[in-house]
Amino acid sequence: MSRFSRTQNRRRTIDSVTEYSGVSSRKVRREKKKVMSQSVMMIGVAVVLFFTFIFVIIPNFFNFITNFLDSSTPFQETDDIPPQIPIISAPVSATNSAELKITGFGEPESFVVFVLNGAKEDKVTITQDGSFEVPLTLSEGENKISAYSVDKADNESAVTKEYITVFDAKPPSIEVTEPADGSSFETRANQSITIKGKTDADDPGIKIYISGRLVFPKDDGSFSYVYRLNEGENKLEIIAQDKAGNSNKTEVTYAFRL
């Protein structure tokens, strides 16, 4: 082969290598650019996911947990224990006032409900020291009274025993039948007299007071009492008083002379 031919072959080889190197460099640059683009994209996606996790997923997760724990679930503790039965002061058996105040004690900050003649009264809050005072408006005659407690979870206690209070505003009758008012007596043999009278037979709780001395009438309402007269005029006050506190009185005057 001639020298010229070898030179030509060498040039072609160099040109081929040079051309191949250029093609390879461009391919490498494209691959680098592609990798870089993918890296940037992955970083962007990672950043988006990071902020989404921090500001969206975590807060929603905690909100879900909080709502779950606050909601009514089988794991939530419920109050199904009834409050204690209220302790009430026994009301009077009879009264001449239409308003009756009842005091007592119960579970603090719960409520007491009175049942008057089968009807529920408005509930009253029991104070922090456990006390309460409730005014009741009575009906004429017999009144049946009981009570129970209710807590804030609407649990109800058992009912107390039933009490009976009679509202009676009518005073009892009183009459002295003998001796007649204005009678006069003489000699020591007649100094002691028997005062007789009567009151209502349908009220066994009536008491009779003759000048301060207590006398109990019989079942039929009649009564009698031996009274020793003093010399001169004897003015006697005779009072009939029932269990409700109503009273009625009459006066008689007797003269005595030895």
**74-113 pLDDT per residue, tens:** 545 677 899 999 999 999 999 999 999 999 999 998 999 9
* 14 pLDDT higher than 80: no
The β-bridge relationship of strands 247-257 and 184-186 is: parallel
More confident residue, 220 or 29: 220
Q: Which residues of 167-182 are buried (b: 16+ CB within 10 A; e: fewer)?
A: bbeebbbbebeebeee
* pLDDT tens per residue across span 177-198: 999 999 999 999 999 999 999 9
Residue 210 or residue 61, greater confidence: 210
Maximum C-alpha span of the chain: 196
pLDDT, residue 75, reads: 47
Assess contact for 164 and 90: CB atoms under 8 A: no
Report the range out of 14-23, 32-41, 222-231 with the highest average pLDDT. Answer: 222-231
Task: Tell me the CATH number for domain 87-167.
Answer: 2.60.40.10
Residue 202's pLDDT is 85
Beta strands in 23-98 (DSSP E): 87-88, 94-95
Tokens 């009151």 sit at which residue? 199
pLDDT band at 157 (very low <50, low <70, confident <90, very high): very high
Beginning with the edge strand found earlier in the chain, give each strand of the sheet holding 99-105 in spatial order.
87-88, 99-105, 131-137
State residue 216's pLDDT score: 94
pLDDT at 144: 97
Q: What pLDDT, on the 0 to 100 scale, is given for residue 211? A: 92
Q: Which CATH architecture describes the domain 174-257? A: Sandwich (2.60)
pLDDT at 2: 55
Mean pLDDT of the chain: 85
- 255, exposed or middle or buried, with CB in 10 Å at 0-12, 13-18, 19+? middle
What is the mean predicted confidence (pLDDT) over 26-50? 73
